[in-house]
Amino acid sequence: MQPQGASSFTRMIKKFIDKLLGKTSGKKPGKFGQREDVPASVHGINPKLVDQRALDVVTTLQQAGFEAYIVGGAVRDLLLGLRPKDFDVATNATPEQVKNLFRRAFIIGRRFRIVHVIYGRGREHEVIEVSTMRAYLDSADAEQVAGNERTSKGELAGMKHAVDASGRVLRDNVWGPIEQDAARRDFTINAMYYDPGTQVVVDFHHGIRDAKNRTLRMIGDAATRYREDPVRIIRAVRFGAKLSGLGFSFDAKTLAPLASSRNLLADVPQSRLFDEMLKLLQTGHALASIEQLKSTGLNTGIYPLLDVVVERGEDPFVKLALQDTDRRVSEGKPVAPSFLLACVLWADVRQGWERRLKPRGNQRPPTPFAALQDAVDEVFDARIGDVSGRGKLGTDMREIWLMQPRFDKRVGSGPFSLAEQPRFRAGFDFLRLRAQTGEADEELAHWWETFSMADDDHRQDMVDAQRKAAQPKGAGGTGKARRVKKTDADHPAAAQPEQPDQPEADPRWRSTEGEASPPAPRTAPARSYGSAFAPDSETADGDDDEGMSTPQAGDDGAAAPAKKRRRRRRKPAGGGGASGAGDSGPAPAGE
């Protein structure tokens, strides 16, 4: 039997040797956890769910002599039997080494330098994100800057590991081994590494156990991890919302400091918060994210625009938009943040629009389109600011809003040009949601849906039908005013009573040859030298003549050709004969 002192000395020697060799006890995990290689027979991942392009990236890196694994949420989804939408790869190759191995690879980021390996082109392209394994460094060992990401860009230019005064990590580009890379990740279920070649899962923090127990657990002290990167607060909500349908819930120690840490978000750049908000609403679990924010006490104070979304989450119009976004994501269809945010802020735009159109005393209100533009500008200044309101997202939102009054016009060339707009589909979907909530006419939404899918001939028929429907119907009909021509049956001249028949000839009027001249017809005045160049309007003198003419004396005393008179007969001046005398005959046409 070995003496007790000798046994204690042996254990101490063994512990000292293990420490020198960097070994950890099999019973008690070290600071960076305990590595466990889990075979396929235990984890049960179906290799057919692994994307071929992610497999190509891992294989290329391994063939070049580097370590490479599929990591993060993709491993979690594979463990749950789900097909991941995105695949991330971790390797011990530097970003420059990764870039040199692939034809289309780009190094991005400043805080965390990563590589995007791109396959395909256009909308069908896929990005495999490759990150270099990082060292786990204590914030006390990092370089400190007095300001933040916005105010200390010059200082941060040459730093690899830097924190601000609150301990938030601003730079983290120090490479390290796999166990340290796992320790610096946030949740245990996101800290597993899968080698598709050997089908082994490397687990340091019991991620497989937590996945089976449906537990969301933060690695290390939760309060410290939130302080290192406050955006983890928003990510925790997003993971909780995404996995709540599968029965996941937060570990008590992870949940406790969540709400009380929200004040740390005040130092995060607004652009980063804006991007995290969009991720929260566009991952296919927008409604669940709102419920998660409420249940964790984070319904206010994260980001002003997100506060509006949560506040209006039960509004019928906004709720329909959130449901529509979740549906499109589940169907694999693209979603645009501009559409969802346009729906969230439409109530503000509509109220401002209506307010501007109300008459204010003797002041003339602006045109509806100008009033709408002013209302849109007001909403951007109040709700969006300069984060994305002046970029493409803001432009798309404006087009969706300004398109709405144009849907009311369904005649002329307007419908054809509107249907060719790049954002027409988004604008129509917006109109469709308005119709579903009773704000717009359902017949209008149905008309535009049919018009958008019809060929050119059918479209023209639809526009013609709208034009005819807008014309007056009978005497009491209502419709758009049109110009009435003289030849139209409803012209006022066509309604005048017919004139009585004129006598065939009047002996009081004689021609120059001494023959009786019949009176000029009402509709065709006599074209003689004296009247051929004078329009009828110039001969009227305002008297109610009846269609007879008054003789005019020429220079030679002969009777000049008669001018047309209308309405009332008048006796010629100087008795019944022609006045004046002369030898030269009728006056020439030019006189």
Q: Calculate the dihedral angle through the C-alpha atoms of 518, 521, 524, 530, rounding to the nearest 10 degrees.
A: 40
Pairwise CA distance, residues 321 & 328, whole Å: 11
Q: What are phi and psi of 489, to 5 degrees?
A: -65, -25
Q: Which helix (H) or strand (E) holds 330?
A: helix 316-330
**CA angle (178, 56, 194) in 5-degree steps:** 35
> Distance between alpha carbon 565 and the CA centroid of its chain, in Å?
71
Which letter, b or e, does each residue of 554-571 get, where b requires 16 or more Cβ atoms within 10 Å of its Cβ? beeebbbbbbbbbeeeee
**How many other CB atoms are there within 10 angstroms of residue 103's CB atom?**
6
Strand order of the sheet with strand 143-144? 143-144, 161-163, 169-172
Long-range Cβ pairs for the range 353-360 (8 Å, 24+): none
Residue recorded with tokens 């917006």 = 430
Written as six digits, the tokens of 352 are 């401002």
Cβ pair 228, 167 in contact under 8 A: yes
- H-helix segments, 222-267: 222-228, 231-244, 252-255
| Strand extents, DSSP E, 145-185 | 161-163, 169-172
Cβ pair 512, 559 in contact under 8 A: yes
Pairwise CA distance, residues 301 & 294, whole Å: 12
List, by residue number, the catalytic residues: 86, 88, 186
Written as six digits, the tokens of 255 are 């949940």
Pairwise CA distance, residues 427 & 547, whole Å: 65
| CA 316, 321, 326, 328 torsion-angle sign | positive
Pairwise CA distance, residues 525 & 549, whole Å: 10
State which amino acid sits at residue 7: S
Written as six digits, the tokens of 149 are 């990401």
Query: Which one, of 63, 141, 66, 53, lies nearest residue 104 by Cα?
Result: 53
**CA angle (530, 535, 536) in 5-degree steps:** 100
Residue recorded with tokens 């300069």 = 386
- How long, in residues, is the chain? 591
Cβ pair 68, 109 in contact under 8 A: no
Cβ pair 249, 216 in contact under 8 A: yes
